[in-house]
Amino acid sequence: MKYFICIFTLIFTLFSSTNQSLSEGNSKRGESMFQVHCQACHTTSEGIGYKVGPNLFGVFGAKAGQRDYSFERHYSRALKQSKIIWNEKNLHYFLENPKGFLPGTKMPFVGFRNKKDRDHIITYLKKISP
């Protein structure tokens, strides 16, 4: 019986951990970081236009380079043709090194080298994506 309980616990732990998100960030911390590093170029409220960069409201799960048609002409050709979906994995790579993730990217940001910083930003972006 002890053997069965141990196996069951192990299996339950394995399956429950696979459902966790990749990002273990704090949305409040992500919002603060966004205000410092991103807000000069991006907006995050529904119905608000864009600044230098596109409005990021609802970006999580969206196809890269295809949102906000008023901004479409500003996207790089590489981004428009990429077929990238903004999920946790792609956002992690992009936010770590935008130009390295997708050569030809226009965003003049060097990236967040610290994984925890990316976790916080991604958690915030997920929060503002319905």
Is residue 70 one of the residues assigned to a domain?
yes
Is residue 13 one of the residues assigned to a domain?
no
Range of the domain at 69: 23-127
DSSP symbols for 105-116: ---------SHH
In the chain, the number of structural domains is: 1
Is residue 18 one of the residues assigned to a domain?
no
Q: pTM of the prediction?
A: 0.76
Is residue 10 one of the residues assigned to a domain?
no
73 in Cβ contact with 106 (< 8 Å): no
Write out the chain's pLDDT in tens, 130 residues: 554 343 433 344 333 333 345 568 999 999 999 999 999 999 999 988 888 888 899 999 999 988 765 556 678 888 888 999 999 999 999 999 999 999 888 888 999 999 999 999 999 999 999 8
Residue 32 sits in a domain whose CATH number is: 1.10.760.10
41 in Cβ contact with 52 (< 8 Å): yes
